[in-house]
Amino acid sequence: MRKLFLSVALCLGLPPVAGHAQSGEIFIPGNDPLVEIKPQPQSQMANCLLNPNAANCAGVDIDPGGIALESAGPSVTFETLVLDLDNKKVVVSKAPPPEPPRYDAPEPPKTGKVALPSVAVTIEFDYDSDRVRGDQRGKIDSLIAALNDPALQGTSYAVIGHTDAVGSDGYNCDLSLRRAASVTRLIEGAYLSVPLYPVGWGEYVLKNEYDPRAAENRRVTFLRLPDTPGAVLQTASTLCRY
């Protein structure tokens, strides 16, 4: 092996480096350690889930050929969730986080407020039902394909169910959790490797505050969690009192 290194050096016209001449080892400029290249998302939906922002999530067609019978506006929208880790509260904002999230931070915050981008997906259910309607299967299949994208390996998500304001707080909390669990089961049934955590928020975070009964308030939000979810997942799980 040393002879091979020395032969390569001589062919390239490179002199041995001091301190390595006796051993036959050489230094070749630019011979840096290999840098791991992460795969790029293969679809718009995968890119939206991996790097949620208004630009990446704009115009995503999660159900090609599908017909939205109840929902108004796009089926996939970007929103920012601001979690108050101290008071266990959450508000939704259409503005992006003030700073890009550091999902791989070794010491994620345990107190204060954390603004995280999220992806709201309109999954329609029959009234007072937690079963995903059959005509929503195209959306579920698109989510499965996106979450199985190699670029999303190592990520995890809270699957947050929402309802409109019809019904009591307690009932809506329970219904939203059951709906989030239904979506999660369908996706995990495809042997998904990305961890999903179903959470119910009832009517506490309305998308349309001007019309609390509007169908667009019934949705499922995919919140990408930090690599160490800790306080973020705890806050998300305790917002709604069942």
- CA-to-CA dists, residue 14 to 9, 24, 32, 59, angstroms: 5, 12, 17, 55
The pTM for the full model equals: 0.81
Domains defined for the chain, CATH in brackets: 1-32 (no CATH), 44-238 (3.30.1330.60)
Q: How far apart are CA 232 and CA 83, in angstroms?
A: 7
Residues 201-211: pLDDT tens digits? 999 888 888 99
For residue 3 the two structure tokens come to: 């002879």
Place of tokens 């409109």: 164
- CA-to-CA dists, residue 39 to 58, 69, 152, 216, 223, angstroms: 22, 36, 9, 34, 21
Residues 41-77: pLDDT tens digits? 999 999 999 999 999 999 898 887 665 544 456 789 9
